[in-house]
Chains A and B, each alone.
Chain A
Amino acid sequence: DIQMTQSPSSLSASVGDRVTITCRSSHSISTHLNWYQQKPGKAPKLLIYAASSFRGGVPSRFSATASGTDFTLTISSLQPEDFATYYCQQTYSSPRAFGQGTKLEIK
């Protein structure tokens, strides 16, 4: 099975900060990597699929890159609505594992 390791597990930042979240897969998954945002009490929401393709409506302050088995999600200038938990997920093979999540909190 492919394991997804996400870091950091939590992050404290201020509005306007630039933050980066990293996800590493235990095996090659090509670009079969998605990023989801989840707010308390809500279902996860797809932000980015295929490592760097944006779902419609995602603000341009979000960006994503892939390099081998390393994937990053960057928010260039944090806005109040960005404080949430972010998950990566590989869909290269079953079981389609999620990373353990990164909780982004207001400093």
Chain B
Amino acid sequence: QVQLQQWGAGLLKPSETLSLTCAVYGGSFSGFYWTWVRQPPGKGLEWIGEINDSGSTNYNPSLKSRVAMSVDPSKNQFSLNLNSVTAADTAVYYCARLDVESNGAHLDYWGQGTLVTVSS
């Protein structure tokens, strides 16, 4: 059974850098895109971006200037950095696995979510 477990700092000050890591247990790390999604309190889901095991990335253009994702296949882990955070970045951040098949791709396994609050 595939499990994703994520961790990182939950309280940041404006202008600091958000850093989260997600570890994958129980399945292959290669052959998938590893994704970050966030959800501001009481609002909908926003796709942040994705990275594969080779380090190839796709980012949401709305966040591209501040986002960096990295991957460590030796540890089955991937990470998200978001710099220069503001209160607008306050959200629950989820990691997830994107399974790419011939008829499409879908997020089939998710982490538990991490609430990140940006406040002075």
Q: Which of B1-56 contact A (CB under 8 A)?
A: 35, 37, 44-47, 49-50
Residue from A91, A97, A99, A101 in contact with B98 in the complex, judged by beta carbons closer than 8 Å: A91
Given contacts A43-B112, A43-B113, A44-B110, contact A95 B47 (CB under 8 A): yes
Contact call B101/A94, Cβ cutoff below 8 A: no
Contact call B58/A95, Cβ cutoff below 8 A: yes
Task: Answer yes or no: B111 CB below 8 A from chain A CBs.
Answer: yes
Residue from A89, A94, A101 in contact with B58 in the complex, judged by beta carbons closer than 8 Å: A94
Contact call B61/A98, Cβ cutoff below 8 A: no
Which of chain B's residues has its CB closest to A98's CB? B45
Number of contact residues on B: which range applies?
20 to 34
B45 → chain A closest CB, angstroms: 4
Task: Enumerate chain B residues within 8 angstroms of A61, measured Cβ to Cβ.
Answer: none
Task: Enumerate chain B residues within 8 angstroms of A46, measured Cβ to Cβ.
Answer: 106-108
Given contacts A43-B111, A43-B113, contact A49 B106 (CB under 8 A): yes
The interface centre, meaning the residue of A30, A45, A49, A100 with most chain B CB atoms within 10 A of its CB, is A49
Number of contact residues on A: which range applies?
20 to 34
Q: Please list 18 pairs of residues, one from A and one from B, whose beta carbons are closer than 8 Å in the complex, sorted by A's number.
A: A1-B61, A36-B107, A38-B45, A43-B110, A43-B113, A44-B45, A44-B94, A46-B108, A50-B103, A51-B104, A55-B108, A91-B106, A95-B58, A96-B98, A97-B47, A98-B47, A99-B44, A100-B44
